[in-house]
Amino acid sequence: MGKVSELRSEAAEAKASRSIVILGATGSIGQSTAAIISGAKGAFTVAAVAGGRDPQALAKVARELGASFAALADPAGYKDLKEALSGTGIEAAAGPDSVVEAALHPSDMVMGAIAGTAGVAPTYAALSAGRTVALANKECLVCAGPAFMRQAAAMGTRLLPVDSEHNAIFQAMNDANLDSIEMITLTASGGPFRTWTAEEIAKATPEQALNHPNWSMGPKITVDSAGLMNKGLEVIEAHYLFGIEAARLDVLVHPQSVVHGLVHFTDGSVTAGMAAPDMKVPIAHCLSYPERINTAARRLDLAGVGSLTFERPDFERFPALRVALDALRAGQGLPTILNAANEIAVEAFLDKRISFHAIARLVEQACEQAQADGIARDPESVTEALEMDQLIRERTRASLAKGNVATLH
Ligand SMILES: NC(=O)C1=CN([C@@H]2O[C@H](COP(=O)(O)OP(=O)(O)OC[C@H]3O[C@@H](n4cnc5c(N)ncnc54)[C@H](OP(=O)(O)O)[C@@H]3O)[C@@H](O)[C@H]2O)C=CC1
Ligand SMILES: CC(=O)[C@@H](O)[C@H](O)COP(=O)(O)O
Ligand SMILES: [Mn+2]
């Protein structure tokens, strides 16, 4: 290490460490967060960790990071968690309320990395308590974007984007005035089915959908990526996060996943946010924001990558992207409805109850039926968004139970 880096790292250690709560600590983002924290010697402490259903994995990360509180959403795991933490001094708790309790533990920053809508209540609790939130859990914004952004503004707290595209765009925007931005482009890898025919995609198995070419992620987001639904969710996320209307948000397929986002300014300048495809990059950026830390995240080797290519998304083969963009343009709470139906559809696909192409059909059907039945409306609060979410889940499950074979297989 050179003299300057030595001095910088000593200075970082001398500064008070930043305390972090990790929601979703046992998942893909949670584990990358833990790796950054462990590697950043003394820059961070961990106040609390929360997980879903795996008491052993949660106890392990709590011990490794020296957390003082560990919360498991599944109440049935309490005994195992307590046992696994005995003698450590780490307090164990279980049940959905304990996850909110973890989110509210005194801290400087909360990493929101729970998968799916389960993350909405605890993440919103952290925001409402004035915590800076590093947000990976895009479903928070798709389900209840306006309420989250209003609350962040009211509390004067920051929502820092962890999602790679949004983090790249946030960095490329560099606090520019929105009037100086003509367009924002989010890139999509194209997923494992980028070159497949529509017929092949329709019959894809969960194993094939889970085989992402560039990123190692949890199952729900990996399936979303395979159908480009992830990109649709991300356009909705960007709309709320950056306050930019749908017409100024664009998607390009970029199989190398090196350019994560582009900001096009009104004078023709374009700033690209680039990095090797490693979530440790945006995670480290958020954890240390507005400073920067040294990390062992992958470095970008452009000569090694060779060429960067871009293509327009194919809405015929990937209808989920069209369905999501339509939902954003239509408003009336359709992003909330889309998000809820999608979670049920992805679950059913992973359980091999429906085919891959049925995911987008089921989601579109849920949106159309909600409009036809007059129940589609913008939720005015997180509570209303979660009520709508529950209702749509029930309706989507009922559609599945009817077992309309033409639609689902
Ligand atoms: N992975 C990635 O590279 C990226 C992820 N994201 C977003 O980040 C979020 C997390 O994704 P990812 O890490 O891949 O997902 P994973 O499935 O790998 O991890 C999900 C985490 O959430 C926990 N969890 C599930 N339900 C609950 C609950 N009710 N209460 C508390 N914790 C719960 C899981 O615990 P357990 O293991 O015990 O079930 C696990 O720790 C998603 O919203 C995703 O879209 C965004 C960009 C990139
Ligand atoms: C790493 C990340 O941010 C994911 O959301 C990623 O974007 C998924 O890859 P796709 O571009 O294939 O959706
Ligand atoms: Mn992303």
User: What pLDDT, in 10s, does the model give residues 204-254?
Assistant: 999 999 999 999 999 999 999 999 999 999 999 999 999 999 999 999 999
Mean pLDDT to the nearest integer, 348-357: 98
User: What's the CA angle centered on 235, arms 342 and 220, to 5 degrees?
Assistant: 35
Tell me the CA–centroid distance for residue 2 and ligand 1, in Å: 37
Is the preceding omega at residue 290 within 30 degrees of 0, hence cis? yes
Q: What pLDDT does residue 2 have?
A: 45
Work out the pLDDT band at 409, boundaries 50, 70, 90. low
Please give the single-letter amino acid code of residue 24: G
**Segment holding 46, helix H or strand E:** strand 44-51
**What percentage of residues in the chain have a pLDDT greater than 90?**
94
Q: What pLDDT does residue 407 have?
A: 57
**Rounded-to-integer distance, Cα 231 and Cα 329, Å:** 15
Report CA torsion sign: 388, 389, 390, 392: positive
Cβ–Cβ < 8 Å for 193, 222: no
CA separation, residue 102 to residues 122, 127, 318 (Å) = 8, 13, 38
Q: What pLDDT does residue 404 have?
A: 64
Closest ligand 2 atom number to CA of residue 213? 12
Q: What pLDDT does residue 8 have?
A: 47
Q: What pLDDT does residue 3 have?
A: 41
Tell me the CA–centroid distance for residue 10 and ligand 1, in Å: 33
- Judged by its nearest atom, the ligand closest to the C-alpha of residue 218 is 1
The model carries a pTM of 0.96
Q: Which residues surround ligand 3, an ion (CB under 5 A)?
A: 163-165
Q: What pLDDT does residue 381 have?
A: 98
Q: What pLDDT does residue 16 have?
A: 80
In 144-267, where do the E strands start and end?
A: 159-161, 181-188, 249-253, 259-265
Work out the pLDDT band at 11, boundaries 50, 70, 90. very low
26-68 pLDDT, tens digit per residue, is 999 999 999 999 999 999 999 999 999 999 999 999 999 999 9
**Rounded-to-integer distance, Cα 326 and Cα 345, Å:** 18
Mean pLDDT to the nearest integer, 78-83: 98
Tell me the CA–centroid distance for residue 392 and ligand 3, in Å: 25
Asked whether residue 7 carries a pLDDT value surpassing 60, the answer given is no
Atom 8 in ligand 2: residue holding the nearest Cα: 225
Tell me the CA–centroid distance for residue 16 and ligand 3, in Å: 31
Give all domains of the chain, ordered by start, each with its CATH number: 3-162 (3.40.50.720), 166-278+301-408 (1.10.1740.10)
225 lines ligand 1 (CB under 6 A): no
Mean pLDDT to the nearest integer, 181-195: 98
Asked whether residue 6 carries a pLDDT value surpassing 70, the answer given is no
Q: What pLDDT does residue 13 have?
A: 47
Mean pLDDT to the nearest integer, 379-401: 98
- Judged by its nearest atom, the ligand closest to the C-alpha of residue 34 is 1
| Nearest one of 151, 95, 169 to 380, comparing CA atoms | 151
Work out the pLDDT band at 12, boundaries 50, 70, 90. very low
285-339 pLDDT, tens digit per residue, is 999 999 999 999 999 999 999 999 999 999 999 999 999 999 999 999 999 999 9
128-170 pLDDT, tens digit per residue, is 999 999 999 999 999 999 999 999 999 999 999 999 999 999 9
Average confidence score pLDDT of the chain = 95
Among 221, 224, 236, 281, which residue has the most ligand 2 atoms within 8 Å of its CB, making it the best to mutate?
221
Asked whether residue 406 carries a pLDDT value surpassing 70, the answer given is no
51 lines ligand 1 (CB under 6 A): yes
Q: What pLDDT does residue 268 have?
A: 98
Q: Sort 246 into a burial class: Cβ within 10 Å, 0-12 / 13-18 / 19+.
A: middle
Q: What pLDDT does residue 388 have?
A: 98
Helix (H, G, I), strand (E, B) or coil at 72: strand
262-287 pLDDT, tens digit per residue, is 999 999 999 999 999 999 999 999 99
Closest ligand 2 atom number to CA of residue 230? 13
Work out the pLDDT band at 179, boundaries 50, 70, 90. very high
Q: What pLDDT does residue 45 have?
A: 98
For residue 265, give every residue at least 6 positions away whose Cβ sits within 8 Å of its Cβ, in sequence order, or none: 176, 180, 181, 182, 271
Q: What pLDDT does residue 235 have?
A: 99
Tell me the CA–centroid distance for residue 138 and ligand 3, in Å: 9
Closest ligand 2 atom number to CA of residue 138? 5
Tell me the CA–centroid distance for residue 90 and ligand 3, in Å: 33
53 lines ligand 1 (CB under 6 A): yes
Asked whether residue 1 carries a pLDDT value surpassing 50, the answer given is no
